[in-house]
């Protein structure tokens, strides 16, 4: 078994319990984030964010599992190869994603999440390029709110 296969096996085992306990693995320095991405995707986790460099020099990326409907953040220390994967709260992840990243996530999730709808709408509105586009989005959002209020009154 090669080193990348061994590391991916350790990661796969830990991901089954990530909702309850963080996962920690050591990656050989040459493998880094690409190996994390590959291992996550082999275990049915989708990449939902770009890699970000944190103030402490670590690299982070968010992933989403459609089967379990869980978010995790993988934090990799390039100096040591240490990688920690921890469960992340939906609202925290959504707040930190850019609008293009939210659009990718929209194709993966059940869009009935109130947090997702609110944050997606806010970021969509702020990314509008023209006043005409902003007005069209406001009109559409108001129409959705009106329809939801009618549906609530019928209950």
The pLDDT value given to residue 30 = 47
Give the other-Cβ count within 10 Å of 70's Cβ: 16
Q: Give yes or no for a contact between 86 and 73, defined as CB atoms under 8 angstroms apart.
A: yes
CA 23, 27, 28: angle at the middle one, nearest 5?
170
Query: pLDDT digit string (tens) for 32-53?
Result: 778 888 888 988 899 999 999 9
Report residue 131 as tokens. Answer: 């006043």
pTM of the model: 0.68
Here the CATH number for the domain that contains residue 63 is: 3.30.160
Q: What is the pLDDT of residues 49-102, one digit of tens each?
A: 999 999 999 999 999 988 888 899 999 888 888 888 999 998 899 999 999 998
Tell me, what's the pLDDT at 146?
Answer: 77
In three-state secondary structure terms, 127 is coil
Q: Say how far apart CA 49 and CA 33 lie, in whole Å.
A: 13
Q: What pLDDT is stored for residue 1 in this prediction? A: 58
Of 12, 76, 3, the C-alpha closest to 42 is 12
- Weakest-pLDDT range from 112-116, 119-123, 127-131: 112-116
- Asked whether the predicted pLDDT for residue 124 surpasses 80, the reply is yes
pLDDT for the residue 39: 85
Give a yes or no: residue 26 inside a domain. yes
Residue in 1, 66, 12, 58 with CA at minimum distance from that of residue 35:
12
Classify residue 93: in a domain, yes or no.
Answer: no
Q: Is the backbone of residue 44 left (phi > 0), alpha (psi -120 to 50) or beta?
A: left
| Local structure of residue 73 (DSSP, 8 states) | E
- Mean per-residue pLDDT for 15-29? 69
The top-scoring range by mean pLDDT among 73-77, 124-128, 137-141 is: 73-77
Residue 29: pLDDT band with limits 50, 70, 90? low
Asked if residue 118 belongs to a domain, the reply is no
Q: Quote the domain boundaries for residue 7.
A: 1-88
Token couple for 151: 């549906």
Taking all residues of the chain, what is their mean pLDDT, rounded to a whole number?
Answer: 81
Question: How many C-beta atoms surround the C-beta of residue 105 within 10 A?
Answer: 22
**Any domain includes 74:** yes
Q: Is 109 part of a structural domain of the chain? A: no
Structure-block tokens of residue 114: 């109130």
The number of distinct structural domains making up the chain is 1
């Amino acid at each position: 078994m090669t080193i990348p296969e061994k590391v991916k096996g350790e990661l796969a085992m830990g991901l089954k319990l990530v909702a309850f306990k963080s996962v920690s693995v050591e990656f050989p320095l040459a493998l880094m984030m690409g190996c994390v991405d590959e291992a996550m995707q082999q275990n049915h986790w989708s990449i939902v964010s770009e890699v970000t460099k944190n103030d402490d020099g670590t690299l982070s990326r968010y992933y989403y599992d459609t089967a379990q409907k869980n978010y995790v953040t993988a934090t990799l220390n390039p100096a040591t190869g240490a990688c920690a994967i921890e469960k992340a709260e939906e609202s925290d992840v959504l707040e930190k994603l850019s609008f293009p990243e939210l659009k990718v996530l929209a194709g993966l999730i059940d869009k009935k999440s109130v947090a997702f709808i609110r944050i997606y709408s806010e970021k969509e509105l702020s990314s509008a390029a023209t006043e005409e586009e902003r007005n069209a989005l406001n009109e559409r959002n108001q129409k959705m709110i009106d329809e939801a209020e009618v549906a609530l009154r019928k209950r």
